[in-house]
Amino acid sequence: MAKRIKALVEPSLLVWARETASLPLEEAARAIGVPAEQVEAWERGEGEPSIPQLKKVANAYKRPLPVFFLPEPPTEFQPLRDFRRLSDAGERPYSAKLAFEVRAAQERRAIALDVIASLGEPPTEFGIKASVRDNPETVAKRVRERLGVTLEQQSRWGEPDKAFKAWREAIEAVGVLVFALSGAHHQVPLSEVRGFAIAEQPLPAIVVNSKDRTNGRIFTLLHELGHVVLGTSAIENDLEPPATLPAPARAIETFCNRLAAAVLMPRDALLVEPLVTAKARTGSEWTDAEIGALARRYCVSREAMLVRLVELGCADRAFYQAKRAEYAKQYEEIEDDSEGGGFAPYQYQILSHVGRGFARLVLQGYYQNRLTLSTVSGYLGTQAKHVPNIERATFNVSA
């Protein structure tokens, strides 16, 4: 029997690849098909995996095989601060799926920067910076002006899906990449993450979880834009920061929430709404129908609208706390509305995941002969035969 050829791989690379994939030793061993003691021995430098075993390692850790032949682990991207938990979820390491999606988003951003450099063009600068000491209302006005979204436009959207697409398009147009965890191969439970931001400049990136209801995704999108404004890369998962967060982290989350609310529901516009002025005169309690009507007008969730009304002194916090528990129960019973209407055509599934901003940039590289068709399809995560349909969908902004 022919002797198996051993892979000459540095133990530190095996440790690095497993840990950055967020895989416990036992789980990694099951994926590779060897005992956990064997993986542990490899990581101590006691023997090496065979070439077939290393291929299984690469597949389990979601890394290209050539990476394992480097002399030392490559420099990793900056880690994201972990504000990602629902209030009752507790602290735990990233799942392997989330770790992969974070890395994929970071790599996609790096690809975009490389393409821009090859085109000889400067990247679009978002250009708005702030600190937690700034007034979120003031910063929100600057953000809306930069995005070019008017109240008249917002009132015409009517449906959450149209609103999400419009906000996403506006954000992508000002130099921020927007990706989504969507499609069969990019599923991360909503209980683990609603979204995250890579706030590095230029070309920061936002990722939202498509398992969320559309109104929830809209708020997450603007919340993560708040992280871009603050320059804090983070993962999180709650409408209100839990009391267990340290004060500095809580200040960041509170600012981002208030900024998102102020962008989506501007103070001056909301305070002159007939429903709001009527409540100011009568002092009566809000009904679900009234909250729902306002929420639909601004394309936000009922909870987000009620939080905003409390913030503006138009509703009582105790009333909000009671309604929040009710909304949470209803929320658990509602299936993700992004999954309820059947599957979108394949080209739109790709665009939902990578975003039109990224797709346009990659296609521009192809038009100017900086990228081959094979490279374009690889960057878009599909086969070359699908690129023409994706190209048409990319520039069909009405779809």
Return the pLDDT at 398: 61
Does 55 score more than 50 pLDDT?
yes
SS3 label, residue 209: strand
Is the torsion defined by CA of 239, 245, 249, 252 positive or negative?
positive
Q: What percent of the chain has pLDDT over 70?
A: 90
N residues, the chain: 399
Q: What is the pLDDT of residue 333?
A: 61
Stretch 314-330: mean pLDDT = 84
Beta bridge partners of 208: 180, 195
- Of the pLDDT bands very low, low, confident and very high (cuts 50, 70, 90), residue 332 is low
- Reading the block at residue 342, the tokens are 């059947």
Separation in Å, CA 144 to CA 85, 103, 155, 397: 28, 30, 14, 21
Give the percent of the chain with pLDDT over 90.
Answer: 59
CA distances from 310 to 31, 166, 277, 314 (A): 49, 27, 14, 6
| pLDDT at site 328 | 73
The Cα–Cα gap between 334 and 332 comes to: 6
| Amino acid, res. 260 | A
pLDDT at 300 over 50: yes
Q: What does the DSSP 8-state code read for residue 367? A: H
Burial 359-396 (b: 16+ CB within 10 A, else e): bebbbebbeeebbeeebbbebbebeeeebeebbebbee
For residues 9-24, give the mean pLDDT.
Answer: 89
Hey, what CATH topology would domain 11-69 get? Answer: 434 Repressor (Amino-terminal Domain) (1.10.260)
Model confidence at 334, in pLDDT bands (50, 70, 90)?
A: low
Mind listing the pLDDT tens digit for each residue in 215-269? 999 999 999 999 999 999 888 666 667 777 788 888 999 999 999 999 999 999 9
Query: Residue 220 and residue 206: Cα distance in Å, rounded?
Result: 9
- Treating both helix axes as pointing N-terminal to C-terminal, what angle do 356-367 and 346-354 enclose, rounded to 10 degrees? 100
Given the structure tokens 């910076």, which residue do they identify?
Answer: 129
Q: What is the pLDDT of residue 90?
A: 46
52 vs 133, higher pLDDT: 133
Cα–Cα distances in angstroms (integers) from residue 233 to residues 12, 74, 204, 240, 357, in the given order: 27, 20, 9, 18, 20
Average pLDDT, the chain: 87
Is the pLDDT score of 316 beyond 50?
A: yes
Residue with tokens 């390491």: 93
Encode pLDDT of 59-105 as tens digits.
899 887 777 877 888 776 666 776 544 344 444 567 888 888 998 89
pLDDT of 305 > 70? The answer is yes
Which tokens belong to 200? 């590095």
**Average pLDDT of span 381-392:** 94
pLDDT for the residue 280: 84
